[in-house]
Amino acid sequence: MSIRGRFRHSRGDFRLDVDFDLPGRGVTGVQGPSGAGKTSLLRAIAGLDRAPGGQLNVNGADWQRDKDFVPPHRRRVGYVFQDCRLFPHLDVRGNLAYARRRADNRDATPETNATRLLGLAPLLDRAVTGLSGGEQRRVAIARALVRGPDILLLDEPLSGLDRDRRADVLPWLEALHRELEIPVVLVSHDPGDIDRLADHLVLMRDGRIIASGAVQDILTNPGLPPSHSDEAATVIAATVEHYEPEWQLNTLRTSGGSLHLPGEPLPPGETVRVRVAARDVSITRSQPLETSILNYLPASIDTLDDMKGGQVVARLHSGKDPYLAHLTRRSVAALKLAPGDDVFIQVKSLALIS
Amino acid sequence: MTDLAAIRLSLELAAISTLILLALGIPLAWGLSQWRWRGRFLVDAVIALPLVLPPTVLGFYLLLTLGPNGPVGRLTEALGGTTLAFSFTGLVIGSVIYSLPFVVQPLQNAFSAIGRGPMETAATLGASPLDRFFTVALPMAKPGLLSAAALGFAHTLGEFGVVLMIGGNIPGETRVASIAVYDHVESLDWGAAHTLSLTLLLLSFVLLAVIYAVNRRARWFGP
Amino acid sequence: MAPDTLIWPVMMSRTSLITVLVTLALAAQVRADTVRVAVASNFGTTLDQLVTLFEQASSHEVLVSQGSTGKLYAQVVNGAPFDVLLAADRDRPERLERDSHAIAGTRFTYAIGRLVLWHPTATALPDGAALLSSDNWSRLAIANPDLAPYGLAARQALQRLSLWDVVTPKIVMGENIAQAWLFTASGNTDLGMVALAQVKARPDSGGATWVVPAAWHDPIEQQAVLLSDSPAARGFLAFMQSGPARTVIAKAGYDLPTKRD
Q: What is the pLDDT of residues C59-101, one digit of tens each?
A: 889 999 988 888 889 889 888 889 999 999 999 999 999 999 9
Sheet holding C84-86, edge to edge: C61-67, C34-40, C84-86, C220-226, C108-113, C254-255
Full residue range of the structural domain in which residue C198 is found? 115-211
Q: Which residue among C147, C179, C188 places its CB closest to the CB of B183? A: C147
Write down which residue in A219, A244, A266 finishes a domain: A219
CB atoms within 10 A of CB B188: 16
* Residue B171 vs residues B4, B11, B186, C136, C170: alpha-carbon distances, Å: 11, 14, 17, 24, 12
Residues C106 and C225 in one domain: yes
A103 to chain B, any CB pair closer than 8 A? The answer is yes
A227 within domain boundaries: no
Assign residue A43 the CATH number of its domain.
3.40.50.300
Assign residue A265 the CATH number of its domain.
2.40.50.100
Chain B CB contacts of A47 under 8 Å are 123
Chain A CB contacts of B130 under 8 Å are none
Residue A17 predicted with pLDDT over 80: yes
Residues C138 and C55 in one domain: no
Residues A271 and A324 in one domain: yes
Residues A189 and A242 in one domain: no
Residues C131 and C199 in one domain: yes
pLDDT value for A108: 54
pLDDT value for C30: 43
Q: Among B112-116, B203-207, C62-66, C85-89, which is the least confidently predicted range?
A: B203-207
Percent of chain C with pLDDT over 90: 61
Residues A182 and A240 in one domain: no
Rounded Cα distance, B182 and C68, in Å: 13
Residue B135 predicted with pLDDT over 60: yes
Residues A71 and A165 in one domain: yes
> What is the rounded average pLDDT of the residues A36-54?
91
Strand partners, A65: A68
Answer yes or no: do B126 and A48 touch at CB < 8 A. no
Chain B CB contacts of A152 under 8 Å are none
Report angle CA B41, B45, B47 to the nearest 5 degrees.
120
Residues A206 and A284 in one domain: no
C121 within domain boundaries: yes
Confidence of residue B92 (pLDDT cuts 50, 70, 90): very high
B61 to chain C, any CB pair closer than 8 A? The answer is no
C243 within domain boundaries: yes
Helix C44-57 to helix C243-251 angle (10° resolution) is 160
A13 within domain boundaries: yes
Answer yes or no: do B126 and A104 touch at CB < 8 A. yes
Chain B CB contacts of C155 under 8 Å are none
Which is nearest to C191 in space by CA: C124, C144, C252, C122? C122
pLDDT value for C17: 53
Q: Among A19-28, B146-155, B203-212, C37-46, which is the least confidently predicted range?
A: B203-212
Rounded to two decimals, the ipTM of the complex is 0.81
Q: Which chains touch A (3 or more CB pairs under 8 A)?
A: B
The dihedrals phi and psi of B129, each to the nearest 5 degrees, come to -55, -45
Query: What residue type is assigned to position A72 of the chain?
Result: P
In sign, the C-alpha dihedral spanning B115, B119, B120, B121 is positive
* Residue A274 vs residues A186, A323, A351, C205: alpha-carbon distances, Å: 20, 12, 5, 99
B17: three-class secondary structure by DSSP: helix
**Model-wide pTM > 0.80:** no
Residues C108 and C226 in one domain: yes
C130 within domain boundaries: yes
Residues A178 and A240 in one domain: no
Residues C108 and C235 in one domain: yes
Residues C157 and C84 in one domain: no
Q: Which residue among A102, A127, A129 places its CB closest to the CB of B126? A: A102
Total count of domains within chain C: 2
Rounded Cα distance, C162 and A94, in Å: 71
B189 to chain A, any CB pair closer than 8 A? The answer is no
Chain A CB contacts of B36 under 8 Å are none
Q: What is the pLDDT of residues C5-63, one digit of tens each?
A: 433 444 445 555 555 555 544 444 444 478 999 999 889 889 999 999 999 888 889 99
Total count of domains within chain A: 2
Residues A192 and A258 in one domain: no
Burial (CB count <10 Å: 0-12, 13-18, 19+), residue C18: exposed
Residue A102 predicted with pLDDT over 90: no
Task: Find all residues with CB under 8 Å of C182, minimum gap 6, and list them.
Answer: B60, B63, C174
Which is nearest to B154 in space by CA: B88, B201, B197, B89? B201
> What is the rounded average pLDDT of the residues A316-344?
93
pLDDT value for C258: 81
CATH number of B2-218: 1.10.3720.10
Q: Among A178-182, B216-220, C153-157, C256-260, which is the least confidently predicted range?
A: B216-220
Q: What is the pLDDT of residues A150-208, one digit of tens each?
A: 899 999 988 877 777 777 777 777 777 777 788 999 998 877 777 778 889 999 999 99
A224 within domain boundaries: no
> What is the rounded average pLDDT of the residues B193-203?
90
Residue B56 predicted with pLDDT over 80: yes
How many Cα atoms occupy the beta-carbon half-sphere of C101 within 13 Å? Answer: 19
C13 within domain boundaries: no
pLDDT value for B223: 31
Residues C170 and C205 in one domain: yes
A78 to chain B, any CB pair closer than 8 A? The answer is yes
Answer yes or no: do B129 and A73 touch at CB < 8 A. yes
Answer yes or no: do A46 and B135 touch at CB < 8 A. no
Q: What is the pLDDT of residues C107-139, one digit of tens each?
A: 999 999 999 999 999 888 889 999 999 999 999
Full residue range of the structural domain in which residue A288 is found? 233-352
Residues A237 and A213 in one domain: no
Q: Which residue among C147, C171, C186 places its CB closest to the CB of B187? A: C147
Q: What is the dihedral of CA A286, A287, A288, A293, to 10 degrees?
A: 130
